[in-house]
Structure 1
């Protein structure tokens, strides 16, 4: 069967270096003994190494041409190649509610959406590895006080330990992307309860980073308008900017916001 043509509308950049493909596939070994779900296998450059591992492997691919190629190239995987849109799937159904490792050479334009979905199913996904745009990888792995630290950093680091593993050059793809890529691994930490309302935590993080250069006492007005008390805005934490706060401080801030919301009966 002829090679699959990379499609710009799907953000496809097919990895051509087998050594790098194997290195990415091997990142799942840090979380052994559970199945693997590969997103966007394309022509199976990573898949060929994943299927040699002693565990169940499934692959989800939205491109019909790639699905046909994979079915012909990996006949043993035929029943485990899912022609679907990962972002629309109920992940409980893939391995009958059992935990699995998420991996892939993720499309750049939806990688953040993939990781937000991972967070929605964090109890099912103890480990997530793969390749993404280097800029996004740095954002996810960055520490408080750095320029890259933002929404993804906080929301993912609240639940996962993040490792930036290695950088990948543009030259090993067809077609070459305009940016460098990077391979990361995210492993669930020991947190089972944030210690605050999780939905409000997300809202607070997104709200303040939408005005990341402003102090919290300014950006939080998006939630309260003019209704919050002077005492609320006078607290020490309100003079900080969002990139200065650790995950633990965001938990503290969320509880402060919730207390004020309850006082105002919002």
Structure 2
């Protein structure tokens, strides 16, 4: 186990040990959640959490940054985010606890016959320099660039990890990542990016390998980390959420959805 994983494991175990094992029979967790994370986990995880802990979750879905801002301003007790905390957020006492990771994938409708793209092609496609799929070895179809809005974690993480100095251009923007995936499934020649666990819910969408690397392989470099964010040291029902997220049952739920738990 790497020093970073050992440190994370020690942090989560410390939080778990600090949590009383007796779970309250009543209570509600007021949470703000990234739309990516909400889509990735689905309602069944919340139902399982309620059954396991006896707690209800009142879930409000926004972008990662809005979810963190709501936590800072006292509108919720817990946030789920796919963004790293800023230095200012950490100074305010916010703590991010990484729970799992999921590959960021480049997608198109299944009519696109190309299966592998180089990183250079990805950058040229999303920057508008490749305007027809035949320039990338595909069919004679115009490239239609669809992205989630710039405020989403998916957009921020994709630009930071994949685009380098290239600027993203787009024909359409969607309010949520899942809406961008939905659009790709219906628009010929469309291309976008999203977290893998959301893409797998759509039958008419394909994922590309990048430079021959399969999404989720150890060498694949484009990943998102999903974290629970608390204000200061967690207590009460928030601690119970963290304890649940450490459980074997929660980890199995993550794996079934194609997510990789950060604690095995």
- Name the structure with the higher strand share: 2
- Name the structure with the higher helix share: 1
Q: TM-score, normalised by structure 2?
A: 0.24
Q: TM-score, normalised by structure 1?
A: 0.24
Higher RCO (CA < 8 A, seq sep 6+): 2
Which has the greater radius of gyration?
Answer: 1
